[in-house]
Amino acid sequence: MNSAEKALWSHIAARDYASAKDVLIKSTVNVNWANKEHQENTLLHLAVQEDADEITKLLLVHPGLDVHKGNSTGRTAFLSACYLGKVAAVRHFLKLGWLNVNQCERDGSTALWDACYNGHLAVVEWLIAAREDLDLEKTGDPGTDDHQEYKPLEIAKMNGKRDVVDLMIKIMSDPVTTRQMLRMKLGIREQGNSPHPPPPLQPPLSVA
């Protein structure tokens, strides 16, 4: 592992975000490096898990970042954010209009499925409001003995996530009205669904 990646990982893990920003901005860092000692999680995975909001934003605009890179189970940092209910991080990811919101983990679960599974209502709201191309019915395997796959609505029902169930029923029955109401609630003015990524943005030259 490069010393820059090692230093950055250590700073994020220790929540020393000022030092992490310094390394990220001033050093040459392979932002797609995967830590084999931690399920092949990337620096972006770690930043999301540790609620390192500023580091997450810097990584998302770093040249060369593969935002769709998964860990050892195929879970991307975006999927992790949705699974863990990290609303701030989810919002940052959704600003990337070209983000594949339907990318699956190896068990078939999508971002929506993960959020429904754990009952993260705010995440489900943002996913539905931000992206019309969100797959509402992609099935996933919760790891039961029978390996039965369930749709997002079904897994929310199974786990007793009533608020999520109610919202999923609404979006399935009246997607236009439901999405419009959510956009008003969340202050989303327009949808960014560019099919291709924009040119990479350069990180700031100095630490704020």
- The reported pLDDT for the residue numbered 133 is 95
Q: What is the pLDDT of residue 26?
A: 87
Indicate the burial class of 130 (C-beta count within 10 angstroms; 0-12, 13-18, 19 or more): buried
The stretches in the chain having pLDDT less than 50 are: 1, 192-208
**Which of 198, 20, 180 minimizes the C-alpha distance to 96?**
198
The full set of domains in the chain, from first to last, is: 1-72 (no CATH), 98-189 (1.25.40.20)
| Residue that is written with structure tokens 């924009």 in the block | 198
pLDDT of residue 143: 81
Whole-number pLDDT of residue 189: 76
Q: Token digits for 142?
A: 């919760």
Prediction pTM value? 0.88
**DSSP 3-state of 102:** coil
pLDDT of residue 190: 59
